[in-house]
Amino acid sequence: MLHTIKIKIIDAWEFVNMANPLTTSVGVGVIDTGIDASDGRHPEFVGVNFGETLPFNLKDLPPLKLQELFFDFLKSGHGTKVAGVIGANNISATSSINYKFPQMNGVLSGVRGLQYILEAQPLENLSFIEFGTIIDSFGENINVINMSISSNKCSEVSFIAQAQRQCVKDEDFSEAIAYYADGFNAHQDKLFVVGAANENKDVAFVSTPANLGFLNNVLTVGSTNLQDGRSSFSNFGFAVGIAAPGEHIYAPAIRGKGNFPISGDEAFNYVTDFSGTSASAPMVTRVAAILKSIKPELTPGEIKNILTRTADSLFVSSTSDEAGKLLGSGCSGVPLTGQVLRGCRLNALKAVKSALSPWIEISISNPPPAVDRHGYSAVYDQNTNHLIFFGGVSGTPSCCASFNDVWILTNANGIGGIPQWIQLFPFGSPPKGRSFHSAVYDQTNNRMIIFGGGQFNGNLFTPRFNDVWVLTNANGT
C-alpha cells in the first residue's frame, strides 16, 4: 500500500532482516474498543499472542452505555483496525506460498523471527478516571501502548459530539489532564503513542492526553496525506512530536463489515478508508515496537528520540496558512528560501538504521565555517544545546591561515529544530589565531577556556603559545 511505501516500512523490514539482529519479545498494548479475534479468529490475527487479554476484549464491541449513544467510530471496529495496523500476522509469515489475497501484514510480523504480544484493554466509557486502572491491568511485559483515543474539551468539539457526550466538560478538562499525566508518570518504563485527535486545532487547548506530548514517555502523532501535507482534520501544535499517514489506510475490519470491493469469502473483512490520527498513531507504535525488539535496552525516551530525530522533515511556505501548524519539530533538514518547518513524518528505515547503527549525520541549514579547517577546538553547552567552536587552521595557497573566530551551532545534537551555524563577535581584542590548542567549558558560568596552541608558517609550527584566555557568555546567550 502507498502509505507503507511513504514511510519506508518494507525497506525497514529488509534492512532488519539482512542485519539479522538478535531480537527479543516485545509487548504492545492497545487501549481501544477490543479486537475481533474470538469465535474463530479474524484471518489477520491467526497465531497472534494476545497475552493477558481477557476473552471479553477479544470482541470488538464498545461498552453497552456507549453502544446506546450510537457512537459511529465505536461501532466500526475501531480497535480491530488499530490492532491490525500494528500487528496483523497473515499466514504468509512462515512461507509466501501460504499467502491468500487480500490478507495483510502488520508491521511487527514483517521482521523475521520477531516474537510479540498484542494485548488489548478497553477504555471503559471513555472515562479518564479509569485510565490508571487500565494501565495497571496490562502485563509487565508490555513496552509500548497505543492510544488512538482522546478526551476532548466540550467547547472545542461539534454540537453533535456534545449531544452524544463524546467530550469532557470544560470544568473537568484540567482534571482529565492530571489523571492522564499521573498515569504516564507512574509508568515511565512504557512508551505511550497517542493520536493527536481530529479537530483541526492546536491540541494544547483541545484534547488530552494528546496535549501531554512534552512528557518523556509520550509521543503524540499527527496525520499527513500521501502528499505529505497535514490532513485537514489533524490537530497540531508543539505537543505533537511526529506525523504519519492517516488517510485511506488499509486495515482489517470486523468480519463481514468491511468495504473491500472484491468478491470472495474475505471480501468484507477489510476496509480501505481507515482515516484519522487513530490510523496514524499505530503506524508509529509498530515501528517503536520494532526498535524495542531489536535493541531492548532502549528507554521510552530514547525510542521517542530516535523516531522524531530520524523522521523526514516537511516544509511549507512561510506565508502559507499552514505555517506554524506544527506536526513535530525534532527532525532536521534544510528548508528552501521562504520555507519553514511544518513537521516530521515517520521514516521507519531511518529509525531502524539509527537503532542498529547509532551514528547519524544531521543536516545543517547553512554552510560551516571554512570547509577544510582543522585543529580547532569545540565545546558543548547542554543548557542551550549549542556547540561552541573556536579557531583552527585552513590550508591556503601560501600555506596556512590561522583563525581566531568564534561560531556556535544551534540545536547541535540534532534535536529541537534545524541546526544552524551562527558567528559570534565578542567584544574586546581576541587571542591570536591558532590551532591545536586545548579548550574546556565552564557550564556553570558559561565560559570557554582555551590554552596554548600555535600557528603554522610553511612547514614549521611556530610561534607556539602558552597563554590562557577566557571567553565570557560563550554560548551566545
Rounded CA separation 56/405 (Å): 68
Q: Given this model, what pLDDT does residue 69 score?
A: 43
Between CA 289 and CA 137 the distance in angstroms is 19
Per-residue pLDDT for 393 more than 80? yes
Q: Do the strands 26-32 and 116-122 form a parallel or antiparallel pair, or are they unpaired?
A: parallel
Q: Give mean pLDDT, residues 47-51.
A: 88
**Residue 193, beta-bridge partner list:** 146, 219
Least confident of 27-41, 187-201, 314-328, 446-460: 27-41
d(CA 447, CA 463): 26
CA neighbor of 253 nearest in space, from 82, 95, 29: 82
Task: Kindly state the cell numbers that stand for 118.
Answer: 498484542
Q: Contact 212/181 with Cβ under 8 angstroms?
A: yes
What pLDDT, on a 0 to 100 scale, did the predictor assign at position 62? 53
Q: How far apart are CA 376 and CA 256, in angstroms?
A: 68
Instruction: Tell me the per-residue pLDDT of 98-136, one tens digit each, with 9 for 90 and over.
Output: 555 555 667 677 788 888 999 998 865 456 788 888 899
Mean pLDDT of all residues in the chain?
Answer: 86
294 vs 362, higher pLDDT: 294
Which range has the worst mean pLDDT, 73-82, 137-146, 370-379? Answer: 73-82
Q: Half-sphere exposure (CA, 13 Å, Cβ side) for 466? A: 0
Beta-strand relationship, 454-457 and 460-464: antiparallel
Give whole-number Cα distances, 57 to 44, 88, 130, in Å: 16, 16, 16
**What's the confidence (pLDDT) of residue 334?**
77
- The C-alpha cell 591545536 sits at 436
Spatial contact of 138 and 30, defined as CB atoms under 8 Å apart: no
Cell matching residue 116: 510479540
Q: Residue 228 above 90 pLDDT? A: yes
Q: Which residues pair with 395 in a beta bridge?
A: 400
The C-alpha cell of 199 is what? 479537530
List pLDDT tens digits, range 166-208.
688 889 999 999 999 999 999 999 999 999 999 999 999 999 9
- Residue 459: predicted pLDDT: 78
pLDDT bucket at 71, cuts 50 / 70 / 90: very low
Whether omega for the bond prior to residue 209 falls within 30 degrees of 0, making it cis, is yes
Kindly state the cell numbers that stand for 39.
469465535
Contacts of 374 (CB under 8 A, 6+ apart): 392, 393, 394, 435
pTM of the model: 0.78
**pLDDT tens readout for residues 127-171:** 678 888 889 999 889 999 999 988 888 888 765 555 445 688 889
Cα dist from 143 to 220, 301, 408, whole Å: 17, 12, 38
Indicate if the pLDDT at residue 89 is higher than 70.
yes
Cβ neighbours for 354, distance < 8 A, ≥ 6 positions apart: 306, 309, 310, 360
- The span from the CA of 16 to the CA of 353, in Å, is 8
Instruction: Tell me the backbone φ, ψ of residue 391, rounded to 5 degrees.
Output: 70, -150
What domains can be seen in the chain, in order of their start residue?
2-356 (3.40.50.200), 377-472 (no CATH)
pLDDT of residue 105: 65
Per-residue pLDDT band for 247 (boundaries 50, 70, 90) equals very high
pLDDT-derived band at 57 (thresholds 50, 70, 90) equals confident
Cell of 201: 486545532
Check pLDDT > 60 for residue 352: yes
Res 1 pLDDT > 80:
no
CA distance 215 to 67: 33
Of 453 and 63, the one with more pLDDT? 453
Could you give the dihedral angle defined by the CA atoms of residues 369, 371, 373 and 377, in that order, rounded to the nearest 10 degrees? 50
Question: Residue 285 has what pLDDT?
Answer: 97
Indicate the burial class of 81 (C-beta count within 10 angstroms; 0-12, 13-18, 19 or more): buried
Question: Maximum CA pair distance of the chain?
Answer: 87
- Residue 74 pLDDT greater than 60, yes or no: no
Question: ω into residue 397 within 30 of 0, thus cis?
Answer: no
pLDDT at 372: 78
